[in-house]
Amino acid sequence: MTNSCQYAPGDYVVYPAHGVGQVLAIEHQTIGGHALDLLVIAFDRDRMKLRIPVTKVRESGLRRLSTRKTMESALVTLRGKARVKRTMWSRRAQEYEAKINSGDPVSIAEVVRDLYRSATQPEQSYSERQIYELALERLTCELAAIEAIDAMQATQKVEKLLNAA
């Protein structure tokens, strides 16, 4: 089997369900009598390794880090006015989780913006806070990887934008 993978060891990638990871290797394994090339990705934050068959990479939603332009659009989204629909929380929670799992930084930024609470605003429910923190973590990890800064600096940058909005 020839290795026609568009990713190489050392590349940073985004897997929608887990966020930013780094390609460790491309392994050749025989599983159930079938020879497969597998992309091995490490997610340090979750202490997890994921193996994806090279032939399934496209349909898995795996992608390269966003461009600086796309990330800038996401950061501009943070400065916008929060849009909270007047639907039941369970429905909104599903929509927020779908946006987070899409892997799209602009959609994730919308969730961060909509669920952000400043010190002067009422407290969030536990589930709102959980979804907010997941979205914030996904956004800041990708921002950190793009700008070659640590996650704390990326979080501070995002929170500064949210507080200025």
| Per-residue pLDDT tens over the stretch 9-36 | 999 999 988 889 999 999 999 988 989 9
pLDDT value at position 124?
Answer: 82
In this prediction, residue 82 has a pLDDT band, given cuts at 50, 70 and 90, of confident
Helix, strand, coil share (%) of the chain residues, nearest 5: 50, 20, 30
Return the bridge partners of 49, or none: 42
The pTM for the full model equals 0.85
pLDDT value at position 4?
Answer: 58
Burial of 24 (0-12, 13-18, 19+ CB in 10 A): middle
Domain ranges of the chain: 11-64, 68-164
As a whole number, mean pLDDT of residues 66-83 equals: 91
What is the Cα–Cα distance from 108 to 91, expressed in whole angstroms?
A: 17
pLDDT value at position 2?
Answer: 44
pLDDT value at position 40?
Answer: 95
Asked: is 11-64 a CATH 1.10.3720.10 domain? The reply is: no
Residue partners of 154: CB distance under 8 A and separation at least 6: 140, 141, 143, 144, 147
CB 47 within 8 A of CB 133: no
Q: Which long-range contacts (CB under 8 A, 24 or more apart) does 120-125 make?
A: 125/89
pLDDT value at position 83?
Answer: 83
Fold equal for 11-64 and 68-164: no
Homologous superfamily of domain range 68-164: CarD-like, C-terminal domain (1.20.58.1290)
**Percent of the chain predicted with pLDDT > 90:** 68
Tracing tokens 């990890």 back to the chain, one arrives at 141
Average pLDDT, the chain: 90
Strand order in the sheet with 48-53: 48-53, 34-43, 19-31, 12-15, 63-64
